[in-house]
Homo-oligomer: A and B are copies of this chain.
Amino acid sequence: MKKTRLEAFSDGVLAIIITIMVLEIKVPHGEQFSDLKELIPVFLSYALSFIYIGIYWNNHHHMVSTVHQVTGGILWANLHLLFWLSLIPFATGWVGENHFGAAPMALYGVVLLMAGIAYYILQSLIIKNEGKDSLLAKAIGKDMKGKVSPFLYLAAIVVSWVNPVVSGIIYCIAAFIWLIPDKRIERSIRQSGRDVEE
């Protein structure tokens, strides 16, 4: 029952984060299509962030579905994750307003890195709570994605000072890796043959 409300609250926050980002795309005063030109970086950063929040919602969804008991620690680790994700609209807005400047691109990476760490903490807490033989532990396995992404974010942060565009490409690659849904968990859930969701 607790889990239901954890999901509902997280869904609410993620739905709002993904939607208020669009408020950063300020309506231009001119009425020509050329007036939209300056909005292209805003639009691109919006699209990328939309995908990132979508990825987090998707994975969060899979991960929480394996949880049997929500502890205080899990609640706060979840809020910690939502905190960093809530800063994505700000970082996105800064990136878009400054046409992929070095500092905004680096900050974007920092926020993604912190969100990645927060996700890892939440995942570890759930596994610790559910046991090493739990569905999630088996499903995650070596967790290659989770281990590779922080290094990609770090690389993008460093690179942003040399060439912010390359940094942007790295963020796109990191998103692409995650776009493939976590089939391992889906498969494990099916194999386990148990109704794990309540």
Which residues on A are within 8 Å of B, measured CB to CB?
1-2, 5, 7-9, 11-20, 22-25, 27-33, 35-36, 47, 50, 54, 57-58, 61, 65, 72, 75-76, 79, 82-83, 86-87, 89-90, 93-94, 97-98, 101-104, 106-107, 179-181, 183, 186, 197-198
**Contact assessment for B27 and A93 in the assembled complex, using a CB-CB cutoff below 8 Å:** yes
**Contact assessment for B17 and A98 in the assembled complex, using a CB-CB cutoff below 8 Å:** no
**Contact assessment for A16 and B25 in the assembled complex, using a CB-CB cutoff below 8 Å:** no
Chain B residue at minimum C-beta to C-beta distance from A33: B103
**Number of this chain's copies in the complex:** 4
Chain B residue at minimum C-beta to C-beta distance from A22: B86
* Cβ distance A77 to chain B, nearest Cβ, rounded Å: 11
* Cβ distance A7 to chain B, nearest Cβ, rounded Å: 6
**Contact assessment for B198 and A1 in the assembled complex, using a CB-CB cutoff below 8 Å:** yes
**Bound complex: CA A129 to CA B86 (Å):** 34
**Bound complex: CA A47 to CA B87 (Å):** 10
Chain B residue at minimum C-beta to C-beta distance from A70: B61
What residues of chain B lie closer than 8 Å to A186, measured between beta carbons? 72
**Bound complex: CA A69 to CA B165 (Å):** 40
Known contacts A57-B9, A72-B183; decide if A104 and B31 are in contact (CB<8 Å).
yes
* Cβ distance A190 to chain B, nearest Cβ, rounded Å: 10
**Contact assessment for B179 and A76 in the assembled complex, using a CB-CB cutoff below 8 Å:** yes
